[in-house]
Chain A
Amino acid sequence: MPITVSSRDSALTIALSGEIDHHGAREMMAQLEDAIAERAPARLVLDLSGVTFMDSSGIAVLLKALRQMGHIGGSLRVTNIPAQARRVLDAAGVGRLISLD
């Protein structure tokens, strides 16, 4: 199970884990989409502490979550970003679009 969902108040925290490449991203995107649609949170926090590898497929996962949160008027924050994922996000300038802790 690549995602784990927990919630407190109006915030929904989803922990992503494992290797986020093109191979794994599709299932992760679908699970994330369902979790957001089901809970419609005001705030979504994506916790990347369990991510062991991420390439640009992970950026697509985050951008899709951002769009979905935009549609329901909610916010997105990405937290506990491991060093390798951070380098990928920085190289792509994702910090201009999504708030990264």
Chain B
Amino acid sequence: MKAIDQATIAFSSRSANEGFARAAAACFAAQLDPTLDEVADIKTAVSEAVTNAIVHAYPDRLGQITLRLRLYDGGVLEIQVKDAGVGIPDVEQARTPLFTTGGEERSGMGFTIMESFMDGLKVRSQPGKGTVVTMRKRIARRAGAPK
């Protein structure tokens, strides 16, 4: 399927960029005329994915994170968060609610929140190579919105 629109942003894995990444995703999604709840869901899911990359992919160095946004027919927004960090040895375990290797500063609920706020979540990871998190959300056309 060919994307109608796309944007790719690369940034350093500094925690200050968490806010930048979620604002960028929300701005890209604005062309779909999402509801406030839908915008909040997108921002939250992006925040979780980017935080994972900052905290876990690059635990002791700065690395690059790529946020790729794509728009498909039918109001489908695809968000990909990619890093070239340490990778996740056991993706299934990482996705389990409350599982975290991040200590008391993390809640272990990141993937659970991404799953519940988006319509689809795929995690591909290779230890030593990096991780790609792909999320999709369909933004419904609002009643009375112009075609």
Contact = CB atoms under 8 A, between A and B. Distances in A.
Contacts of A92: 97, 107, 109, 112-113
Contacts, number: 75
A56 B106 contact: yes
Nearest to A91: B116
Nearest to B106: A60
Interface string B19-46: 1001000000000000011001101100
Interface of B: 15-16, 18-19, 22, 36-37, 40-41, 43-44, 47-48, 51, 54-55, 97, 104-110, 112-113, 116-117
Contacts of B107: 56-57, 59-60, 63, 92
Given A23-B19, A25-B105, A26-B105, A56 B48 contact: yes
Contacts of B51: 21-22, 55-57
User: Looking at chain A's contact residues, is the secondary structure mostly helix, strand, loop, or mixed?
Assistant: helix
B114 to A, nearest CB: 9
A56 B110 contact: yes
24 contacts: A21-B15, A21-B19, A22-B51, A22-B105, A23-B16, A53-B22, A53-B44, A55-B44, A55-B51, A56-B108, A56-B113, A57-B107, A59-B107, A60-B105, A60-B106, A83-B36, A84-B43, A87-B37, A87-B40, A87-B44, A91-B112, A92-B107, A92-B109, A93-B97
A29 interface: yes
Is the interface on chain A under 10, 10 to 19, 20 to 34, or 35 or more residues?
20 to 34
A58 to B, nearest CB: 8
Given A57-B105, A60-B106, A63-B107, A91 B19 contact: no
Contacts of B19: 19, 21, 23
A53 B23 CA distance: 11
A21 B106 CA distance: 10
